[in-house]
């Protein structure tokens, strides 16, 4: 049996912050879809309302059986046919699993069905992507820690897939997976467009437009994509 906690450990801190940044707080009902052994479900519980109903769902009974956490309900079920009522869930996470589903559009439709109006889905996908790395001036840091959207249509296919299933306010953030202990802004800054970044210097000057020193040639790199979308109100 795979130990997914160990598998993801090098980037666990980065992934957790990235998921939190994409997730509204205060969910009353939250679902970790394709939760594996459920070790990331405790992260989901931390952004939900105290006392929330937090669910970990996976089709593999052996994965679900290997971890039990207080305050989490564990379900063995098929993501294509969620055993949940319509418009019941406030927040759904699906981490590194969308590519595993036989019918991705069908699963996104099930997510859409079970979310309450204005409920949020957050998808995390990791893989090798073509990028053009941005190099920024030494000593500069972003004035806002929330990552803007990536340049060069990075993750655009996934964005369009989510939009085509009817989700609104679809947003995407991208992070380079290079060093296990890198700060989260170090992971996203090489991937964003210059026009979207405001920098500040070590002296404290702010509002400096982002001007990369260099935009590299296309290369393949390991990237984490976080895509979020809301169910429409009506």
CA angle 181/185/191 to nearest 5° reads 110
Residue 52, pLDDT score: 95
Return the bridge partners of 214, or none.
Answer: 135
Following CA atoms 17, 20, 22, 28 in sequence, which dihedral angle do they give, to the nearest 10 degrees?
Answer: 170
Tallying the residues shown for the chain, one arrives at 234
| Range name among 15-24, 39-48, 208-217 with the lowest pLDDT average | 208-217
Instruction: State both tokens at 28.
Output: 């009353």
Instruction: State both tokens at 38.
Output: 């459920």
DSSP class of residue 159? Answer: H
Which carries the bigger pLDDT value, residue 66 or residue 120?
120
Instruction: State both tokens at 40.
Output: 């990331």
Closest CA to 84 of 44, 38, 29: 29
Average pLDDT of the chain to the nearest whole number: 88
Whether residue 184 contacts residue 128, with contact meaning beta carbons closer than 8 Å, is answered with: no
Residue 3, pLDDT score: 43
pLDDT band at 210 (very low <50, low <70, confident <90, very high): low
Residue 64, pLDDT score: 62
DSSP class of residue 24? Answer: -
Instruction: State both tokens at 55.
Output: 């669910």
Instruction: State both tokens at 109.
Output: 């439709």
Place of tokens 């052996």: 62
Whether domain 4-230 has CATH 3.20.20.70: the reply is: no
Whether residue 111 contacts residue 140, with contact meaning beta carbons closer than 8 Å, is answered with: no
Across residues 214-234, what is the average pLDDT?
A: 94
């Amino acid at each position: 049996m795979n130990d997914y906690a160990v598998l993801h450990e090098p980037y666990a801190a980065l992934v957790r912050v990235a998921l939190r940044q994409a997730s509204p707080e205060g969910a009353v009902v939250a679902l970790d879809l394709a939760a594996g052994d459920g070790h990331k479900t405790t992260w989901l519980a931390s952004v939900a309302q105290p006392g929330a109903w937090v669910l970990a769902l996976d089709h593999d009974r052996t994965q679900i059986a290997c971890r039990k956490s207080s305050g989490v309900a564990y379900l063995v079920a098929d993501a294509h046919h969620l055993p949940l009522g319509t418009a019941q869930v406030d927040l759904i996470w699906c981490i590194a699993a969308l590519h595993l589903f036989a019918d991705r559009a069908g699963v996104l439709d099930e997510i859409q069905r079970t979310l309450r109006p204005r409920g949020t889905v957050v998808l995390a996908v990791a893989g090798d992507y073509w990028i053009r790395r941005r190099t920024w001036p030494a000593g500069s840091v972003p004035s806002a820690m929330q990552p803007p959207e990536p340049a060069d249509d990075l993750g655009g296919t996934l964005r369009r897939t989510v939009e085509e299933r009817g989700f609104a306010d679809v947003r995407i953030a991208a992070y380079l997976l290079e060093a296990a202990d890198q700060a989260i802004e170090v992971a996203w800054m090489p991937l964003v467009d210059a026009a979207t970044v405001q920098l500040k210097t070590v002296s404290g000057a702010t509002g400096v437009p982002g001007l990369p020193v260099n935009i590299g040639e296309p290369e393949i790199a390991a990237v984490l994509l976080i895509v979020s979308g809301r169910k429409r109100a009506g």
